[in-house]
Amino acid sequence: MEWMDKKRGIGIPSSFFAVAQTSFTYALLLLMDTNNCIASFLLRSASLLRNVDNS
């Protein structure tokens, strides 16, 4: 625990956590964007299949 307190005093963890949080946020946005693309692709495929069934 003493070693952790010394490290915290230097301030390395705070900058590391800031970078990690930013990376996580970007990854989350990218994941959401990918999910939107997949969802729109599935919707498009479903509507195409529905059109084929109707005709």
Tens digits of residue pLDDT in 10-28: 555 677 888 888 899 999 8
As a whole number, the mean pLDDT across the chain is: 78
Residue 47 has pLDDT above 70, yes or no: yes
Owning domain of residue 39: 2-54
Whole-prediction pTM value?
0.46
Mean pLDDT of 15-43: 87
Q: d(Cα 13, Cα 39) in Å, to the nearest integer?
A: 38
Q: d(Cα 27, Cα 20) in Å, to the nearest integer?
A: 10
Structural domain total, the chain: 1
DSSP 8: H
Number of H helices, E strands in the chain: 2, 0
Mean pLDDT of 26-51: 88
Which amino acid does the sequence have at 42? L
Q: Please, which pLDDT band fits residue 54 given cuts at 50, 70 and 90? A: low
